[in-house]
A and B are shown apart, each in its own frame.
Chain A
C-alpha cells in the first residue's frame, strides 16, 4: 500500500549524496565520533529543507503559563548560563539520519580509493551462519511451526478415522507439535583484531589525541566493513604500557617519559596469548609524537618489530602526530632501519587536514 518507502529511500539517497560531498569535512572533524552504534552511524544533516519565506528568530510570540516579567521560558538557560537558542524555524532543524557503517565505509573507500583487504594466505575460518530453517519435535512455543503441526495433527486424525468433513475439527496432541530449529551452515569468515596503541606521554596534547581519535574512528569503520568479527584492543603507554578501555584511551592524560618498547612488548604478548595469527588478522596501529626515551629503546623496538611482530601481523602502522614538543625522530629511525619491510607502513600527520592521507597510507595496500 505504501509508497512512503520509495520516498524515504529517495530522501536517504539525497542525504548520502550530501554526506559523500562533505566526506572530507567529516574526515577531519570529531563530529561523528561517539555517534556510532554497532551497525549504524547517526549523522546530523542540517539545512535540507526547501527555502521559504519565513520569519527569522528575532520574533516575539504569545505563550501560555506562569512566570513573571523577565523570567526565562522553560528550556531557556538560567541566569549566568551561556546563551544559545534552539532553532525553531523549519530551516534550522537538524535531523539525524542513520547510515549503515558498511555504507559509510564504502564512501570512505570510494573517496580514498581504498582497495578491499585481501585475506592473508588461503586460510579461512568457518563460522556458523545458522538459520532457522530446520524442524524438530521439541522446542519453545515461540518457535512452533504451525503448518507442520497442523499437518501432523490432520494426518493423524485421518489415519485414526476421526476425520469428519462436516465438522473438520483437528486437535493437535503432544506428538504432533513441530518446532523450528536452527540449522547451522558453515560459512567462510575471518576475524581481525586492531590494536590502537597510543603514546600518552606529556607531549601528546589534546589536538594530537583528537587526531588519533579521528583516525582510529575511520580505521575501525573501514576494517569493520572488511571483517565480520572485529575486536579492538586499546593500549596506552608512557614508560609502561597497559590495556585500557575505549573511554580511557581517548581521555587519559598521562605524563612522563616514553618507552615505546613497553607497548610493543605488550602487543606481542597479546598476539601470542590471545590473538594467534593462525586465527586472527592482526592490525597494530601505533600513534606517537615520535619522541622515545633513548636510542637504545628504539633499537629494542626495531628488533621487536622485525623479528617478532611483523611476521605475525597483516600490517603494522605507525602514525606520527606532530606536536610542539616531539622531535619526530622515531619515524626516521624506523624508516631507515626497516626499509623495504612490506608490512610496515609509516605516516606522519601534521594537522587535521593530513588525516585522510594518513588513512589512505595505512589502508591503501589492501592487506
Chain B
C-alpha cells in the first residue's frame, strides 16, 4: 500500500487512487513510501545518489552545488526521485503542481514495478537504505579513528575505480546459484544478498581470479591493504554493483515509467480540465532534445512499438536491459521515424555533425553505446606480468579512445593500491599504446603488441 504519511490529505487520496489503477493494470511493486520535500532537499538527496544517510564525501557536496546552481538559474528542475529499495522510497518536490504530482506518482509506480521485476535488479540489495546507513557509520568511525584526510584520500582513490566492475557478474552469479541450489521451502525470497553472490566461487571466475572485469573485486580481495582500507574498497564496490543495473536500463526504466504514467493518467485519473496541463508536462519530459537521445522518449516509443506488434510488455520489461531491448525492437522503420543518426567530429571543420543516417550504422552505434552501461570495458588479465607481480589491464577497444590523461591517473591509483606497477594497453588513434605506472609516475609508450592474448569476451 502506498504510504503517504507526509503527503497532504488530498494528495494522499490521489496516491491511493493511482495505486489502485496501477494494480488493476497489472503493475506490482513493493510498498511505496512517498515523501514531499522542498526542491533543495530533494537535490541534496539526489546528490547522495538517493541516500541521505550516505557516507560523507566532498563529491556529494560538489554535486549538490552543481544541482543547486542549475535549479537557482532555472536550468534544471527535478520533479521526483525514486529509490530501489523495499519499501520503495519516492521523493516528491513540494513545488510541483497538482497535475505534476499525479503524473509523478504514476511515474513512480512504473519505476517501482520495474525495480521489482526487471531481472537485472533481482540481485540488488532491497535493504539498501539500511545498508547505506551502515556504510556511513563505518566510514565515520574510520574517520574518527584515522582522521578525515587519510580516509578521504583513500575513499577518493576507491571511488575513482568504481566503474571497474562487471555489470553482468551479479546476475550470472544469481542464476548460477539458482541452478546449483534448488530453492527450499523457506528460500522463496529469490534474491540473495549481493555479498554472498559476489563472493560465491561459481560467480564467473570468482573474485581474485583472472581474467576479470571485476577489477574492484580483485583488488579488494588481493591487494595488500590495511583492514580499514579493504573494507572501504568492499563497500564502495558493493554500492557500485547496486547502481550498475540503473546504468544498464535507463531507457527501459524511464520508458516504462513514462508509458505507465501516460496510460494511467489518461485512463480516467485526470479530469478533462487537467489533461492539457498533463499533456504539456508529459511532452516536456519526453520531448526530443535536438541532437540528443532522450531516454524517456526513446524508451516510451520502443514500448509503444512493441505494443503495436502485439508483444508482451511485461515480459519485455522483465528480461531485457537497454542493449538487448534496443537490439530486439529497433528496426529500420523505427530508426527512420525516430530520426536517429550517428554524429561525430569532422576532422576538417572541427565540428560535431551528422555523419550517418543509414540503419545498420545507427543501430550498431547505439548498441555499442548501450553495451557495458556506456563505460569502457577494462579487463584485468594478469597479476604477475612478466614474473614481476605487476598488473596487466587491457582496454577492450571498440573504436572509441580513452581520455589518456585521466586514464593514466586512474592507473596510477591502481598501482598504488596494488603496491606494484600496473600497465594498461589501449589504442589511441589507431595506434596501440601502453600506459604504465608505478604509483608515482605515469609513462606512455607505443606498444607494438597488444599485450597478453585477449581472453574470451563476455557479455
Known: A55-B376, A61-B342, A62-B293. Contact between A95 and B65, CB under 8 A?
Answer: yes
Contacts of B353 in A (CB 8 A): 70-73, 76
Among B41, B160, B163, B354, the residue within 8 A (CB) of A69 is B354
**Chain B 424-454 near chain A by CB (<8 Å), digits 1 or 0:** 0000010000000000000000000000000
- Name the residue on B nearest A84 (C-beta): B350
Is A91 located at the chain interface by the 8 A CB criterion?
Answer: yes
Q: Does A159 contact B (CB under 8 A)?
A: no
Contact B404 A51, beta carbon cutoff 8 Å: no
For A63, what are the chain B residues with a Cβ–Cβ distance below 8 Å? 291-293, 340-343, 354
Known: A11-B58, A62-B342, A64-B293. A52 touches B351 (CB 8 A): no
Smallest beta-carbon distance A227→chain B, Å: 30
CB of A187, distance to nearest CB on chain B (Å): 32
Closest residue to B47 on the A side, CB-wise?
A4
Say whether, besides A14-B58, A53-B410, A95 and B351 are in contact (CB < 8 Å): no
Contacts of B159 in A (CB 8 A): 50
- Asked if B60 is at the interface (CB within 8 A of a chain A CB), the reply is yes
Contact for A61 among B44, B59, B288, B365, CB less than 8 A: B365
Partner of A58, one of B61, B66, B345, B354: B345
A8 to chain B, nearest CB (A): 4
Instruction: Judge whether A53 and B293 touch: CB under 8 Å.
Output: no
- Please tell me if the beta carbons of B344 and A60 are within 8 angstroms of each other in the complex: yes
Task: Specify which chain B residues have a CB less than 8 angstroms from the CB of A11 in the assembled complex.
Answer: 58-59, 61-62, 65
The answer, yes or no, to whether A79 is at the interface (CB within 8 Å) is yes
Residue B327 at the chain A interface, CB threshold 8 Å: no
Whole-angstrom CA separation of A54 from B375 in the bound complex: 7
B90 within 8 A of A: no
Q: Does A83 contact B (CB under 8 A)?
A: yes
> Considering only CB atoms, which chain A residue lies closest to B148 in the complex?
A10
B403 lies within 8 A of A89 (CB)? yes
Is the CB–CB distance between A61 and B369 below 8 Å?
Answer: yes
Whether the Cβ atoms of A73 and B41 lie closer than 8 Å is no
Across the interface, name the chain A residue whose C-beta is closest to B363: A62
CB neighbours of B164 from chain A (8 A) = 53
Tell whether, in the assembled complex, residue A62 and residue B365 are in contact, meaning their CB atoms are under 8 Å apart: yes
Q: Does A53 contact B402, Cβ atoms closer than 8 Å? A: yes
Is A51's CB under 8 angstroms from B409's CB?
A: yes
Q: Are A6's CB and B56's CB within 8 A?
A: yes
Out of B354, B400, B408, name the residue touching A55 (CB < 8 Å): B400
0/1 string, A81-102, CB within 8 A of B gives 1? 0011100010100011100000
Tell whether B64 is near chain A: CB-to-CB under 8 Å.
yes
Interface residues on B, range: 35 or more
Given contacts A54-B402, A75-B291, contact A83 B352 (CB under 8 A): no
Bound-complex Cα distance A172 to B404 (A)? 72
- A residues less than 8 Å from B343 (CB atoms): 60-63, 73
Chain A residues with CB under 8 Å of B262's CB are none
Q: Is B94 an interface residue (CB 8 A)?
A: no
Q: Does B401 have its Cβ within 8 Å of any Cβ on chain A?
A: yes
Chain A residues with CB under 8 A of B355 = 60, 69
Interface residue tally for chain A (C-beta within 8 Å): 51
User: Most chain-B CB neighbours within 10 Å: which of A58, A61, A84?
Assistant: A61
Chain B residues in 8 Å Cβ range of A77: 351
Bound CA–CA A67/B354 (angstroms)? 7
- Interfacial chain A residues near B292, Cβ < 8 Å: 63-65
By the criterion CB–CB under 8 Å, are B375 and A53 in contact?
yes
Given contacts A54-B402, A59-B400, contact A2 B44 (CB under 8 A): yes
> Which chain A residue lies CB-closest to B159?
A50
Cβ-closest chain A residue relative to B374: A55
B349 and A83 contact, CB distance less than 8 A: yes
Q: How far is the CB of A261 from chain B (nearest CB, A)?
A: 49
CA–CA, A70 and B403, complex, Å:
25
Q: Specify which of B44, B66, B395 is in contact with A4 (CB 8 Å cutoff).
A: B44
Which residues does chain B contribute within 8 Å of A60, judged by CB atoms? 342-345, 355, 365, 399-400
Chain B residues with CB below 8 A from A67, complex form? 291, 341, 354
User: Which of chain A's residues 7-21 have a Cβ closer than 8 Å to chain B?
Assistant: 7-14
Does A68 make an interface contact (CB < 8 A)? Answer: yes
Asked whether, in the complex, the Cβ of B403 is within 8 Å of the Cβ of A54, the reply is: yes
Min distance, Cβ B423 to any Cβ of chain A, angstroms: 14
- In the complex formed, the residue of B with least CB distance to A82 is B350
Interface centre among B159, B338, B350 (most CB of A within 10 A): B350
- Contact of B65 (CB < 8 Å), options: A55, A69, A97: A97
Give complex CA distance A70, B344 in Å: 10
**At the interface, yes or no: A338 with Cβ under 8 Å from chain B?**
no
Closest CB of chain A to B454's CB: distance in Å? 17
A134 at the interface (CB under 8 A from B): no
Q: Does any Cβ of A come within 8 Å of B298's Cβ? A: yes
List residues of chain A with CB within 8 A of the CB of B375.
53-54
Residue of chain B at shortest CB distance from A13: B58
Cβ-neighbour of A7 out of B58, B369, B410 (below 8 A): B58
Q: Interface readout for A41-57 with B: 1 if CB under 8 Å, 0 if not? A: 00000001011111111
Which A residues are in CB contact (< 8 Å) with B345? 57-58, 60, 85
A166 lies within 8 A of chain B by Cβ: no
Instruction: Tell me the nearest residue of chain B to A90, going by C-beta.
Output: B406
Determine the distance from Cα of A54 to Cα of B395 in the docked complex, in whole angstroms: 11
Q: Given the known A-B contacts A10-B56, A72-B352, are A65 and B288 also in contact in the complex, defined by CB atoms under 8 Å?
A: yes
**Docked pose: A4 CA to B44 CA in angstroms:** 6
Residues of A with C-beta under 8 A to B406: 51-54, 91
CB contacts (< 8 Å) of A72 on chain B: these are 349, 351-354
Query: Which 3 pairs between the two chains have the least Cβ-Cβ distance?
Result: A83-B350, A51-B409, A7-B61
Q: A4-B48, A10-B57 are in contact. List 19 more A-B contacts (CB 8 A).
A: A7-B57, A14-B58, A51-B407, A51-B412, A53-B410, A57-B403, A58-B401, A59-B344, A60-B355, A62-B343, A62-B369, A63-B341, A64-B289, A64-B297, A69-B357, A72-B349, A74-B290, A84-B350, A95-B66
A contact residues vs B (CB 8 Å cutoff): 1-4, 6-14, 48, 50-77, 79, 83-85, 89, 91, 95-97
24 residue pairs bridging A and B, Cβ less than 8 Å apart: A1-B52, A4-B64, A7-B61, A50-B59, A53-B164, A56-B404, A59-B400, A60-B343, A60-B344, A61-B369, A62-B362, A62-B366, A64-B339, A64-B340, A65-B339, A70-B346, A71-B353, A72-B351, A73-B343, A73-B351, A74-B291, A83-B349, A85-B350, A95-B66
